[in-house]
């Protein structure tokens, strides 16, 4: 069965529909979220859907389709081919199609503040001509990014010092975390998400470098005894919940594109807020369950920061040799500056609402996009 036939067959399986308010002029926007309900991505798309319907007086109404239509890896092609108008993309999955986007994604270990990382990634991508061009070649228009919460260490013993890390086998989500582990005296182990619980419970690994939200989402709370909250850090900030099919984008009026951009700011903010809030809630849950919650020692943090800085040369080399990126060092420096800028705009020393974060994204990024020319 081809994708378009599959789409027609999934009409009854729509997870979330906003009824049209604008009568005959109303139009459905088909967005697929290729992960189970309850995810940060679904939360963000629902917030976007409500905001878009309100901004357009019901002329654009979102229908959210479940993973049974397109999974995470199928969504890229499905959006490109017009099976859906938009969808949740984890850009890390598509390095050969999106080599320019891989560079800031590889800078994962700079991530301490998810709100800042989503802002930095969004601003970098939409103002990077090669980044936009590679999406347009795939018949897609990038509309910002979201981020996971910052990674910690979820393990079966304290891991807060260099001595405690020595020889520990830790699940690593990618190359940056694996290199960090090796430089800190540990061993990075590549495992898929659904393998982590069994590996920790059987003692195959000593823990996982993951966002603390995984305590509940993959039940590590049942086997972990210790959590380090502020090391190693790092975020997955190539989460793309708002980008759209280019033909769909061209079919909108300038006014509709402006409304879509402004609502997309909230979609990115709400997705990131949900991931960050899940981290905070899981840390509190861990304490309630008697799990030891630690911060890394100053000495370990000092070494960690030095390791992360030194690894930038490796990332530049990977970008140049593997992805064919020109001027990788300059682009890395630009992204570092954007991270610093956004850490100043959205500091983590206060509580933010998704709406407040979205206002900053609109002011600094989305209001500066020309809806009459961008992506056309």
Domain ranges of the chain: 3-149+236-281+315-368
Question: What tens digit of pLDDT does each residue of 34-79 get?
Answer: 998 999 999 999 999 999 999 999 999 999 999 999 999 999 999 9
Question: What tens digit of pLDDT does each residue of 317-353 get?
Answer: 999 998 899 999 999 999 999 999 999 999 999 999 9
Residue 7 confidence (pLDDT): 39
pLDDT at 142 over 90: yes
Question: What tens digit of pLDDT does each residue of 186-221 get?
Answer: 999 999 888 999 999 999 999 999 999 999 999 999
- Give the model's confidence band at 232: pLDDT under 50 very low, under 70 low, under 90 confident, else very high: very high
Question: What tens digit of pLDDT does each residue of 11-33 get?
Answer: 433 444 444 333 447 899 999 99
Closest CA to 141 of 244, 237, 259: 244
Q: Got the DSSP string for 308-326?
A: HHHHHHHHHHHHHHTT--T
327 phi, psi to nearest 5 deg:
55, 45
pTM over 0.85: yes
- Give the model's confidence band at 174: pLDDT under 50 very low, under 70 low, under 90 confident, else very high: confident
Region of residue 82 (phi > 0: left; psi between -120 and 50: alpha; otherwise: beta)? left
Q: What is the CATH code of the structural domain delimited by 3-149+236-281+315-368?
A: 3.40.190.170
pLDDT at 157 over 90: yes
pLDDT at 9 over 70: no
Distance from C-alpha of 304 to C-alpha of 132, rounded to nearest angstrom? 33
239 phi, psi to nearest 5 deg:
-90, 120
């Amino acid at each position: 069965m081809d994708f378009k036939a599959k789409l027609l067959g999934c009409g009854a399986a729509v997870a979330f529909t906003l009824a049209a308010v604008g009568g005959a002029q109303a139009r459905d926007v088909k967005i697929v979220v290729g992960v189970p309900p309850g995810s940060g991505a679904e939360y963000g798309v629902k917030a976007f859907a409500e905001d878009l319907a309100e901004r357009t007086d019901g002329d654009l109404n979102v229908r959210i389709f479940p993973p049974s239509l397109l999974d995470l890896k199928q969504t890229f092609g499905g959006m490109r081919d017009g099976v859906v108008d938009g969808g949740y993309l984890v850009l890390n999955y598509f390095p050969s199609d999106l080599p320019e986007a891989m560079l800031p994604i590889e800078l994962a270990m700079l991530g301490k503040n998810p709100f800042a990382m989503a802002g930095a990634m969004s601003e970098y991508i939409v103002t990077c001509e090669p980044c936009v061009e590679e999406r347009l070649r795939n018949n897609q228009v990038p509309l910002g990014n979201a981020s996971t919460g910052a990674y910690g260490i979820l393990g079966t013993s304290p891991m807060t010092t260099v001595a405690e890390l020595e020889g520990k086998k830790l699940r690593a989500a990618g190359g940056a975390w694996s290199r960090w582990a090796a430089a800190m005296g540990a061993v990075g182990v590549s495992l898929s998400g659904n393998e982590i619980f069994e590996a920790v419970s059987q003692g195959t690994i000593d823990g996982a470098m993951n966002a603390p939200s995984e305590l509940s989402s993959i039940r590590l709370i049942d086997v972990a005894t210790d959590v380090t909250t502020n090391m190693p850090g790092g975020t997955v900030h190539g989460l793309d919940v708002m980008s759209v099919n280019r033909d769909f984008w061209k079919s909108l009026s300038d006014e509709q594109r402006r409304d879509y951009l402004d609502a997309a700011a909230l979609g990115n903010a709400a997705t990131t807020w949900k991931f960050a809030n899940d981290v905070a809630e899981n840390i509190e849950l861990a304490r309630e369950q008697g799990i030891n919650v630690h911060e890394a020692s100053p000495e370990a943090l000092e070494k960690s920061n030095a390791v992360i800085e030194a690894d930038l040369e490796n990332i530049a080399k990977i970008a140049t040799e593997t992805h064919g990126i020109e001027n990788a060092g300059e682009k890395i420096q630009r992204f570092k500056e954007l991270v610093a800028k956004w850490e100043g705009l959205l500091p983590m020393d206060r509580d933010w609402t998704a709406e407040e974060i979205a206002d900053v994204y609109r002011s600094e990024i989305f209001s500066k996009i020309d809806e009459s020319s961008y992506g056309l």
